Structures are given as structure tokens and as C-alpha cells.
Structure 1
Amino acid sequence: MLKKLFSSSIRVDVLALLLNNPDDEFYVREIAKLLQKNPSGIKRELDNLEQVGIINSERVLNFKYFKVNKKSPLYTDLRRLVLTSLGLKGSLQAVLKGAGTKSAFIYGPYASDDQAKTVDLMVIGTKTHLADEFRDLERHFSCTLTWIEMDEGEYKERRREREPQLVSILSEKRIPLIGRV
């Protein structure tokens, strides 16, 4: 829906990333890597969004960091529009990409029935804590997010040792969000 509303799919992806991670700053190449898009296209869209006042930038040494402008009169409406159009899965993907997550998936009741109000997540290799972003998503989607967070080494070790909880989770139906498990 958003890709038809906006003239650029890159702009939609950039907005989704920044609006789902409102407290984080990103530089051009970081955004390009997260979204797997060309840096020059990303830069052009960031400049357009900055001219309109939807995002702000700050130069630190040789890097120009971009962040959503929470004081923009469009911020609340755009955030609501992006969250609603992406749905829970798309919003989770945007938050997890912004956090640098290596791999993540949904398991449990929601994986079998997307009407379930509890969403269980396995998050592997995240560089930041996700509690604040997840609380925002819980409020918006009226659900409860529970998650298990571990680094890649811990995940590989638990899988190698066939830890019962992990084996049980991996044997259930899953909805992949990022990467492969």
C-alpha cells in the first residue's frame, strides 16, 4: 500500500526503518546495508526527507547521521501509517533490522494463528536492547511480545547441546523475520 502511495520504494523503506527506530541514528551506508539498497539512492531519499523536515541530520566527524524528527507535525501520522501498513510482521522486521539483528523468527501461538494476542520471538545476534521499541509495537498492535535474545555463539552452543527448550522451539511452526536459523 505505501509503495503505491509514495513515489519511491526506497523512500518507503527508509521511512519504515527510521519511524520504527525513532531513537536511533543511522548513517547512509548503514541504512543501505540494512535495507540492501544502493547508497546513492538512499542518500537522495534522505536528502528529500530532510528538506521536507521529516528527518534531521547531524555531522559527527566524517559521518552524517540521520534520525527521524519527532517534532515534525507529520511524525505521529506517518508513524501510525507506516505501522498500520506494514503490520506486525513488517514492523518487527524494521525494528530488528535497525537493531542489526542477524536472525529472528516468530514461534508459538501467533505462528499458527495470527489472531493470537501473544507473540513469541527468538532474536539472535542483536547489538542493542529492544524493550522500548517492542513496547511501542505492543501498544500499537494491542498484543504482548515475549522474546528470547541471545548472541550467535550462545545460540550455536545451545543448539549443539540440544537444549530442550530450544529443540522444542525449533520443532514448532515458525515465521521467519530476518536471516536463517
Structure 2
Amino acid sequence: MRLSVKRPTETTVLFIVSARPPVSTLTDRLTTSAALILRLLAVTAVILVLANEYAMLFANHALSGVIVKATPEIGAVQLGVLTQTVPRLYRLILVALTLYATAIRSSISESLLVIRGLGVQISTSSPFVLWTSSTRFIPTSSIQDIFIHEAFIGFTVKYYLSIVVEGEENVVVVFPVGH
């Protein structure tokens, strides 16, 4: 886990916790770029397989008196070998697993923005690429107390921050994923 602190203005402080290592060297940048290219290629392959499945599903069906004949070739990619050797159920399972693997994030980041006189804003990024992050603002007037707790896990001590909010039964744990 990595904690970074930013002070955008004199009255605000932004704390960000992330498991993602900083991208600073050329090797890190090349690795990140290669992973992005592999994800894009995997998504492209999934789209081609799904288009081929759609074409094969409606192959040789009469639509309004016109016969539509599909071929296993889409563009320059030959998918006929895949459709002839692997059963449809396994192809669809493979497509679903590939989409899941390409949509999941490698790390989740959480942030706490403290604005003096107004309150705190807690944000957590989504574990999936296309989902939005969750954000919650707690005004200063609703904060009853702030605690720093200790948790013993094996032989290590983990510290975490929680906020007691007026009118709520449970405390709000800040950076819950970082445990």
C-alpha cells in the first residue's frame, strides 16, 4: 500500500491510498503499455468471436425471402478453426472469462479529501474499468467523532480510521479496502 498526500489549497488535504506502484521508469511505462495493448487485443478477439457466433447463429436462415449465408471469416481473421473445434458453450465461457479478466482493475485506489469547515469526502475507485467510483461526502456538522483503531492480524498491527456520523448506526470506515 502506498499513501500519497496532496494539498491542493490551504484549507484542503487529499490523502490517497493505492496498491498500484508508481509508474516512473521506462520499464514500468513499457510494461503498463504492453498490458493495455494486450487488453485491447483480448477485447478485439472477444468482439470477433461474438460477431462470428452471431453470424453462425443466423447462417442459412431465410430473412424476408433473402438467404443470408455467413462465413467463419471476419476481416482477415479466420475463426473457422475455433468454431469447428471448440463447442459453443466453451467458447462462450471463454469469452465471458476474457471479458471479466480485461474489465477488472489491477488495483483499487481510495481517497479522503478533508475540507476545513465543510467536511470530508471519501472516494473509492471501482474494481472494474467501466464502472464509476463511489463517493460520499460527510459534512462537518454530521461528524460526531473520529477514531483511529488498531486491529491485530496475526503478529502485525493494522491501523484504520473510522468516522462516527450522526444518525447512523454503523461507523464509516475510511480506506476499508486497504486492510
Q: TM-score, normalised by structure 1?
A: 0.28
**Structure holding more helix per residue:** 1
**Structure holding more strand per residue:** 2
Structure showing greater radius of gyration is 2
- RCO higher in 1 or 2 (8 Å CA, sep ≥ 6)? 1
